[in-house]
Amino acid sequence: MNGYKDWEEAQRVEASYQQTLRGLENRRDELKERVELLKNDTLTKERLVRKRLGFVKPGEIKFKVVKPIQPD
């Protein structure tokens, strides 16, 4: 009987590994897609530079909205 329980446990562990693997493969595919967008899509590059580095085009005005400090 112990052999069957070991086999069941091995099946559960394998199923868990398979699920983890599928999740990692999905994440890899998402990252590959993002890399391709960053390589080839001008709009994606522009959005990233504007968001992360705060770049603006000539003639644009940048505003920064700041939350007011809450009194204690």
Residue span of the structural domain in which 26 resides: 2-53
pLDDT of the residue at 20:
98
Structural domain count of the chain? 1
Q: Is residue 7 part of a domain?
A: yes
Q: Is residue 48 part of a domain?
A: yes
Note the pTM of the prediction, 2 decimals.
0.58
Distance of CA 69 to the CA centre of its chain: 32
Q: How far apart are CA 68 and CA 48, in angstroms?
A: 27
pLDDT of the residue at 72:
74
Q: Is residue 23 part of a domain?
A: yes
Q: Is residue 28 part of a domain?
A: yes
Q: How far apart are CA 67 and CA 70, in angstroms?
A: 9
Structure tokens at 3: 């052999």
Q: How far apart are CA 23 and CA 16, in angstroms?
A: 11
Q: Residue written as tokens 């005005």?
A: 61
Q: Is residue 64 part of a domain?
A: no
Task: List per-residue pLDDT tens for the chain, 72 residues long.
Answer: 578 889 999 999 999 999 999 999 999 999 999 899 889 999 988 988 888 988 999 999 988 889 998 887
Q: Is residue 67 part of a domain?
A: no
